[in-house]
């Protein structure tokens, strides 16, 4: 497990209960701006990932900044993520993202500001499927 961290942005506080219920493991949240569209630094401890979810109307952009993680859209193979990777998630795409089993992972989450945008949280990522990721 990698305990060496290169924090580009402040880790922030543990997720509030309103969000942590949709994560397996511990994640942290630091809001960076609320101008334009909100931008958050989301940091995942090793093994932490969020549930499958859908961004209705607005979509999301992930800018990977630290460690090694995963992103998977429904019906696609998981994609390994590293600092510098960018993931553009269109609205209405069921997906999940989080850290690898042995590394911290952080990304900036850029929410696309659209009237009526909302997140729909779904089931957790199957432990057996996640466990097979390298």
Query: What CATH number is given to the structural domain containing 53?
Result: 2.60.120.10
Is the residue at 2 inside a domain? no
Domain containing 94 equals 13-131
- DSSP assignment, residue 75? T
Contacts of 87 by beta carbon, 8 Å cutoff, 6+ apart: 61, 62, 64, 71, 79, 81, 97, 107
Is the residue at 5 inside a domain? no
Is the residue at 27 inside a domain? yes
Closest by CA position to 31, among listed 49, 17, 16, 46: 16
pLDDT in tens, the chain (134 residues): 445 677 788 899 999 999 999 999 999 999 999 887 889 999 999 999 999 999 999 999 999 999 999 999 999 999 999 999 999 999 999 999 999 999 999 999 998 889 999 999 999 999 999 999 98
Is the residue at 7 inside a domain? no
pTM reported for the whole predicted model: 0.92
Alpha-carbon distances, residue 76 vs 14, 95, 110, 117, 126 (angstroms): 30, 9, 22, 24, 15
Is the residue at 124 inside a domain? yes
- How wide is the angle at C-alpha 51 spanned by C-alphas 48 and 56, nearest 5°? 135
**What's the total number of domains in the chain?**
1
Is the residue at 6 inside a domain? no
């Amino acid at each position: 497990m990698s305990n060496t961290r290169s924090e580009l942005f402040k880790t922030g506080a543990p997720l509030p209960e309103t969000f942590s219920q949709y994560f397996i493991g511990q994640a942290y949240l630091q809001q960076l701006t609320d101008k334009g569209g909100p931008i958050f630094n989301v940091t995942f401890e090793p093994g932490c990932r969020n549930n499958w979810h859908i961004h209705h109307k607005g979509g999301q952009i992930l800018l990977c900044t630290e460690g090694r993680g995963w992103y998977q859209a429904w019906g696609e193979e998981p994609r390994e993520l590293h600092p510098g990777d960018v993931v553009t998630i269109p609205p209405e795409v069921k997906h999940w993202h989080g850290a690898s089993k042995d590394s911290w992972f952080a990304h900036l989450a850029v929410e696309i500001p659209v009237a009526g945008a909302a997140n729909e949280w779904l089931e957790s990522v199957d432990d057996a499927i996640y466990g097979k990721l390298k």
